[in-house]
Amino acid sequence: MTRLPRGFFARPVLDVSRDLLGAHLTHGGVTVRITETEAYAGDRDPGSHAFRGRTPRTAPMFGPAGVTYVYFTYGMHWMLCLVAGQTGTAEAVLVRAGEVIDGHGIASARRMGIRERDWCRGPARLATTLGLDGSHTGRDFCRPPLGEVPLIGLSISPGDPVEDAQVQTGPRVGVSGPGGDGTAYPWRFWIEAEPTVSAYRPGVIRRRTR
């Protein structure tokens, strides 16, 4: 398996997010073709966890490129981000959705009772299908560790490049922005007509109550 090199990820996060479409992501005996991503741009992006600076939780986002940021949300779900850009910029790509192309038996056992189209249709489902949790944050996925067992360590290979005509862009799911609808940040990328892409829902502005 040929891994994408660190230089691929050490580029502007919008470029990395778009170019990851069609790439193959492998972990825990399962490989998925990435069909949907979202870009987050650190301290210049109000939607980013790193917008207000570095914390113990967000430390992996600050680099270098080519490491994971796996975080817990809503008290029940793990999400996978791939750190991009230059060290210190805290840019990262959220892998939102994918199609299982290998390891169907393992994926089915992890997603028992769920139809195949929905195994990785959304970032929490994708992390579950790949067997990811908080112990996998900060992992270097560009350089395999010594003694890595094939298909166990996380890796990303070029896969199947997606033509520009097949790529759609729009607001990120559940993230508001100036004007309240998130349209100022059309930083979600997905493959047109791909059934594994997650459903869009706009962000909700939470106003303080007195």
Amino acid (1-letter code) at residue 17? S
Rounded percentage of the chain residues whose pLDDT exceeds 90 = 77
Q: Are 50 and 56 in contact (CB under 8 A)?
A: no
- The pair phi, psi for residue 127, each rounded to 5°, is -60, -40
148 secondary structure, DSSP code:
P
172 secondary structure, DSSP code:
P
- Express each pLDDT in 89-108 by its tens digit: 999 999 999 999 999 999 99
For residue 79, the surrounding DSSP H or E stretch is: strand 77-84
3-state secondary structure of 152: coil
**Cα angle 49, 164, 174; round to 5:** 30
Burial of 129 (0-12, 13-18, 19+ CB in 10 A): buried
Q: How far apart are CA 155 and CA 143, in angstroms?
A: 9
Q: How is residue 172 written in tokens?
A: 């990120």
Q: How far apart are CA 155 and CA 27, in angstroms?
A: 7
10 secondary structure, DSSP code:
S
Judge whether residue 205 has pLDDT over 70: no
Q: How is residue 187 written in tokens?
A: 């930083």
- CATH number, span 6-165: 3.10.300.10
Closest CA to 89 of 175, 14, 162, 192: 14
- Express each pLDDT in 133-190 by its tens digit: 999 999 999 986 555 544 457 999 999 899 999 999 999 998 866 655 667 889 999 9
- Express each pLDDT in 34-54 by its tens digit: 999 999 999 999 999 999 899
pTM: 0.90
Q: Are 43 and 58 in contact (CB under 8 A)?
A: no
134 secondary structure, DSSP code:
G
pLDDT at site 203? 63
CB contact set of 39 (below 8 Å; sequence gap of 6+): 13, 14, 16, 17, 91, 93, 94, 187, 188, 189
For residue 168, the surrounding DSSP H or E stretch is: strand 167-170
pLDDT at site 184? 81
Is residue 60 reached through a cis peptide bond, with omega within 30 degrees of 0 on the bond before it? no
